[in-house]
Amino acid sequence: MSQQTARGGSAAWALVITSVAGFMAALDNLVVTTALPSIRKDLGGALPDLEWTVSAYTLTFAVLLMFGAALGDRFGRRRLFIVGITVFTASSAAAAMAPGIDSLIAARAVQGAGAAVMMPLTLTLLTAAVPEARRGMAYGIWGAVNGLAVASGPLVGGSLTEHISWQWIFWLNVPLGLILVPLARLRLAESHGTGAPLDLPGTLLASGGLFGIVYGLVRGPVDGWTGAVVLTGLFAGTALLVGFVLYSVRAKNPMLPMRLFRSRAFSGINAASLLMFLGMFGSIFLLSQYMQGVLGYSPTEAGLRMLPWTGMPMLVAPIAGILSDRIGGRPVVATGLFLQALGLGHLAVVATADASYAAQLPALIISGIGMALYFAPASNLVMSSVRPKEQGIASGANNALREVGGALGIAIMASIFASRGGYESGQAFVDGMRPALVTGAAAVALAGVATLFIPARRRPTAPISPPAGPTPEPVLETAS
């Protein structure tokens, strides 16, 4: 049974604490990319070593997300949230002080593990603290902060590296973490999930499957898609995930109940999230390089010019959250995804080796509005598609699919880029980037189509499983 203990908590404090924690975890996905040349200069290492400073975080983050959510449901969401922040903060300090490339990679892996525990619990803790009527606006602000973190990672990393040192991309997390730990202890209410024991077989199958797939996706563009290790990871990971599904259908207390996918709202928003992150991550990965390597901007200049895209969530996402409260999440999310697809397609059309910023600006604005309209209502759709006791694992599953989508997007779009272009000249880069951006736009458009399968309005349905007691808890299969 869910338990809650109010300890001076409030909706405002919960919003601040969870938004900052989510910002830290999301930022570190891409913050290292623009610092890699400086890291190589100071610590040495071959190209594969440098790539692992990015991949080690992505890998542990994606693999452990559902496990982190399950731990929070079982042992207390606030308690595990604090543990996740502590691990993340300590490993950030270790990364900043790393004496060599191997120790930096190890610290990044531990960082990802801390983020995997912390990130899915931000949404469950926020949901528990905010009244249902105001969740749209709260999700809007939370989504704006997280969207800004994902999109501005290259800017933050490049600016800190250019003007201070690369170590500060990790030191930045330390004071934030030291502030968040006591605030979370004093201002957040404790809550639990179903109280079921940990599903160890399911955890091993899901974690092993995600590890194999994400590892294969990360290494594919580097080692080649026909390499033995890459193919083994992809096929073994897929087999383990199939085993996880088959096991979960029959298990008494599975980590991720397969019956949740009977809900059109849950299935639709998770499919849309995977496709959205596939298109967005791959596009940011290429566009940040395009602005610096082809158009000649410094990391800071490139980041500033991308602000109409990356900064738009701070302005529009809270409004999107309010709209989702009033008219439902499906039309807002679908509109956002189609706008994002339109913006990426426009960028593919106008991109040249000497494109002016004025030519790119409309596409950046359209993409920014689209991204902002997606983040807040999508969170609302995920959390309202399941029972309160199952919100932790729903958040973990959705975040895991987002991370897999991001890794898949970078892998697919990097492969398309390499097959059609390269780094030999500005024109060669554009030749490879254009078809990759078209692919990203198509993926985001498919995400919009997936959203249309979500029920159009809130409606009561029969409980997904037989109630345990005489007073069953109503379930809403909702699109808002």
**Residue 34 DSSP label:** G
The residue whose two tokens read 């999301």 is 26
Q: How many other CB atoms are found less than 10 A from the CB of residue 186? A: 12
Rounded Cα–Cα distance for residues 271 and 267 (Å): 6
Beta carbons within 10 angstroms of residue 466's beta carbon = 7
Structure tokens at 122: 């931000």
Residue-level pLDDT at 151? 64
Q: What is the pLDDT of residue 138?
A: 75
pLDDT at 194: 62
Structure-token pair, residue 347: 């960028």
pLDDT along the chain (480 residues), means of 10: 45 85 79 73 69 77 79 82 93 90 88 87 80 71 72 72 81 90 85 69 83 78 79 90 87 78 84 89 79 79 77 73 76 90 93 88 89 78 74 74 78 81 84 91 93 69 46 40
User: How many Cα atoms sit within 13 Å of 35 on the Cβ side?
Assistant: 28
Q: Rounded to an integer, what distance in angstroms lies between the CA atom of residue 106 and that of residue 252?
A: 36
Closest CA to 412 of 285, 239, 293: 285
Question: Residue 16 corresponds to which amino acid?
Answer: V
Q: What residues contact residue 200 under an 8 Å CB cut-off, 6+ apart? A: none
Query: Which tokens in the block code for residue 19?
Result: 């938004």
- What pLDDT does residue 49 have? 67
How far is residue 21's CA from residue 121's CA, in Å, rounded to a whole number? 10
CA distances from 26 to 20, 47, 258 (A): 10, 24, 27
pTM of the model: 0.73
pLDDT at 8: 38
